[in-house]
Amino acid sequence: MVGLLPLTLTAATVRRRGKRLLGPLDLTLDQGGLTVIIGPNGSGKTTLLRVMHGIERLSSGTAQWSLPPAEARQQQAYVFQSPTMLRRSVLQNLRYPLDLLGHPRAEASARAADWADRIGLGQALDRPATRLSGGERQKLALARALIREPQVLFLDEPCANLDGRATRDIETLLLAVRATGTRIVMATHDMGQARRLADDGVFLRGGMVHDSNRAPSFFDAPKTPELASFLKGDIVE
């Protein structure tokens, strides 16, 4: 597999309707591990993820993978905060990314069924995906993102509004995926989850990287007072 990483953001800035949402921001995403992005609401976590994935237009600056953009996107996957369910069955949702690449039908179905088993939806292949529960949808979206075996996986609040059981299922899956060498970048509000999963952390504030470090130092010895008070649960603007 041709290396996709590192990703280098240089003075990346996003402005919408005269408001600066992100940057100017410099960031390098290296090989390996799971990066957690935290920060207050409106600090630009989602915008940063979308910029890295290449689905948010930059107002200025660059985001550079080590592959050409079209190839780079093929090697990534993104799970949105409220995942989109195609109005199709569970099986068809799972195989959709493979269908787009023109995989043979039988192979795509077999891989989709295999993934359905891994997320506990093996008995629900023919159910309409739009009728799944919140946890099932989130797992389905994750499996659909992973079915192309991406080198990099972006997740935006994958466990918001989920119960403990579903959250644990998803974290187990994420750890397994990380173990196979998939690079994961995840935004979360859940500080417990951040500590459980992170190899390194990025703290965003006002669209800028305010603090970043390897875990566990990121959590245990924050370099900035703002990160320290944010981790304590104080309100940070």
* Order of strands across the sheet that contains 19-29: 19-29, 7-16, 60-64
In this complex, which beta carbon is closest to another protein, that of residue 100 or of residue 110? 100
In this complex, which beta carbon is closest to another protein, that of residue 50 or of residue 210? 50
- Checking DSSP bridges between strand 152-156 and strand 208-214, what pairing results, if any? unpaired
Q: Quote the strand ranges of 17-175, DSSP E.
A: 19-29, 34-38, 60-64, 76-79, 152-156
Residue list 91-110, contact with another protein (CB under 8 A): 96-97, 100
Q: Which stretch binds another protein (CB under 8 A): 36-44, 79-87, 111-119, 212-220?
A: 79-87
131: which DSSP letter?
G
The terminus-to-terminus CA distance of the chain in angstroms comes to 42
Q: Which of 206, 171, 209 is nearest to 190 (CA)?
A: 171
Q: How far apart are CA 119 and CA 222, in angstroms?
A: 36
67 binds another protein, rule: CB under 8 A: no
Q: Which stretch binds another protein (CB under 8 A): 103-111, 123-131, 171-179, 229-237?
A: 123-131
Contact 222, 231 (CB under 8 A): yes
Least Å from the CB of residue 160 to another protein = 16
In the set 13, 15, 59, 88, which binds another protein (CB under 8 A)?
88
84 binds another protein, rule: CB under 8 A: yes
In the set 55, 110, 176, 221, which binds another protein (CB under 8 A)?
55
In the set 53, 137, 183, 210, which binds another protein (CB under 8 A)?
53
176 binds another protein, rule: CB under 8 A: no
DSSP H/E element including 210: strand 208-214
Q: How far apart are CA 128 and CA 86, in angstroms?
A: 9
125 binds another protein, rule: CB under 8 A: no
Least Å from the CB of residue 213 to another protein = 29
179 binds another protein, rule: CB under 8 A: no
**For binding to another protein (CB under 8 A), which residues are involved?**
53, 55, 70, 73-74, 77-78, 80, 83-84, 86-88, 96-97, 100, 128, 130-131
